[in-house]
Structure 1
Amino acid sequence: MAKIKIYSAVVCPYAHRSRLVLQEKGIDFDLIEINLQNKPEGFTDISPYGKVPAMSATGYAYAHNNHRVWESAVINEYLNEVFPNPPLLPSSPIAKAQARIWIDFANTRFVPAFSTLLRSSDIQQQEAAKQELYKHLEFIENEALGKLSGNGPYWFGESVSLVDFTFYPWFERWAALKHYRGLALSEEFTRLRQWKKALKQRDSVVAIANSKELYIERYARFATPVAA
């Protein structure tokens, strides 16, 4: 029988990405939670980097007898190719290229600024990261949602895509950033706030959503609260 196993950790936003894609496509899978502070013996046989998410698949006609994929962006494109419905990338080559540009933007610019702001204990580094993250939010508001979304709620309009699921896990965790670093998602980012609201209401997102209290608790080990 065909089987997909996804190796995840509840607090990990990268693993969250791939679980969202699995949920959105209605793919049956086994979820295996990994304690990243106490990884099980042999985990690097599945995930050579020792990170989540990682995925293994067996029993599919297109697959080798037993294969593995790791890195969230790669897993998500793999799932979109192997399980084409519903499609989670635009059909035209230029729109598909734009989607990949935004996925790269998330990985190389947005996420590092978010992580530095939350995790750094240096006040100057925090301030620099806060300014950088704010610029990234402006860029998303104007260059992505302002130009690509049209009247639709998602990155590419009416249809949800891998880009939406690439960014969303960090916005579900925004409560931790607000709690520990005092950075709220400003009212001026109207399109971004509408986008977040639309994603938050999708069945695939609701199915695996966690409370803001969980993120505040789990991220306590990385950050200290803003002084009152």
Structure 2
Amino acid sequence: MPDTLTLISHALCPYVQRAAIVLHEKNVPFDRVTIDLADKPDWFRAASPLGKVPLLKLGGDRYLFESAPIVEFLDETEGSRLHPEDPAERARHRAYIEFASQILNGIGALYNARDDTGFYAAGEALRAKFRHLEGELDPDGPFFAGRAFSLVDAAFAPVFRYFDVFETFLTLEMFDDLDRVLAWRGKLAARTSVQEAVTADYPALLTAFLQNRNSWISQLLDLRSRERSLLVAH
């Protein structure tokens, strides 16, 4: 293992956040290199066969790609395990990490919806997934499986971070009556590893990204901006 790992990142990528959270949870020192995915450097193209982040540079020309194997590698090689020891429970956790990825796809459908019909349909599909989670969370919390922070928690923290930004200009009612999910979301947001997984300008960067989607959510953002401008003018 090299003295210092390098996490190749994009400022808004939720999958990069998973790896950063795990590195922080395990107190592993690492460097972070942020690239522009619209202007990928040649070395990145050579190292990432899928052209995506995250990449984890191990040293020399050795890179790992894709967040799932990266966090599994970190869990196997660094510090105390975040995956459960029981094989069946470990498989269940892996399934819910994939469930988090499917929710991220649903969030993409939400912010890319071209009209209100598509937007509200995407919102309902997301709410159904969160209703399912309400029944799967450990009732005593504070995390997915109880007292111990796990890789599932690392996967869901970036999911909830989207809603921290959405709720600055939208009333989604996504988590109404989902008390366990809301409590879990709050505990994750307060976690140092989660807070440090993004830069301070993440909300502004995400808002700018949403404004440029030419989607229904872009229109809602523009409307809120105009309303705020009118309030300031008066």
| TM-score of the aligned structures, taking structure 1 as reference length | 0.86
Give the whole-Å Cα distance in 2 for the aligned partners of 1:158 and 1:20: 17
Find the partner of 1:139 among 126, 132, 137.
Answer: 132
Q: Give runs of aligned pairs for residues 1-228 of structure 1, distance below 5 A.
A: 1-58=2-59, 66-83=61-78, 85-107=79-101, 109-142=102-135, 144-145=136-137, 149-178=138-167, 182-209=171-198, 210=200, 212-222=203-213, 223-226=217-220
Q: 2:208 is matched by which residue type in structure 1?
A: E
Give the whole-Å Cα distance in 2 for the aligned partners of 1:7 and 1:105: 24
Following TM superposition, by how much is the alpha carbon of 1:214 offset from its aligned partner in structure 2, in angstroms? 4.1
Structure 2: give runs of 5+ residues left out of the alignment.
225-234
Following TM superposition, by how much is the alpha carbon of 1:206 offset from its aligned partner in structure 2, in angstroms? 2.5
Q: Provide the secondary structure at the position in 1 that maps to 2:94.
A: helix
Give the whole-Å Cα distance in 2 for the aligned partners of 1:225 and 1:181: 12
Following TM superposition, by how much is the alpha carbon of 1:181 offset from its aligned partner in structure 2, in angstroms? 5.8
Q: Provide the secondary structure at the position in 2 that maps to 1:32.
A: strand
Q: 1:215 is matched by which residue type in structure 2?
A: L
Over 3 Å counting, the alpha-carbon distance change for 1:182 and 1:224 in structure 2 is farther
Q: Is the 8 A contact 1:13 1:169 kept in 2?
A: yes
Over 3 Å counting, the alpha-carbon distance change for 1:181 and 1:113 in structure 2 is farther
Q: Provide the secondary structure at the position in 1 that maps to 2:68.
A: helix
Over 3 Å counting, the alpha-carbon distance change for 1:129 and 1:181 in structure 2 is farther
Larger relative contact order (C-alpha < 8 A, sep ≥ 6)? 2
Q: 1:91 is matched by which residue type in structure 2?
A: E
Q: 2:97 is matched by which residue type in structure 1?
A: I
Q: Provide the secondary structure at the position in 2 that maps to 1:31.
A: strand
Give the whole-Å Cα distance in 1 for the aligned partners of 2:193 and 2:167: 25
Structure 1: give runs of 5+ residues left out of the alignment.
59-64
Aligned Cα root-mean-square deviation (Å): 2.0
Following TM superposition, by how much is the alpha carbon of 1:95 offset from its aligned partner in structure 2, in angstroms? 1.0
Per-residue CA deviation, residues 3-38 of structure 1 (Å, 9 max, x unaligned), is: 311100111111111111111111111100011121
Count of equivalent residues: 216
Give the whole-Å Cα distance in 1 for the aligned partners of 2:148 and 2:48: 32
Give the whole-Å Cα distance in 1 for the aligned partners of 2:4 and 2:204: 33
Following TM superposition, by how much is the alpha carbon of 1:68 offset from its aligned partner in structure 2, in angstroms? 1.4
| TM-score of the aligned structures, taking structure 2 as reference length | 0.84
Per-residue CA deviation, residues 84-105 of structure 1 (Å, 9 max, x unaligned), is: x232111111110110110121
Give the whole-Å Cα distance in 1 for the aligned partners of 2:169 and 2:211: 8
Q: 2:50 is matched by which residue type in structure 1?
A: Y
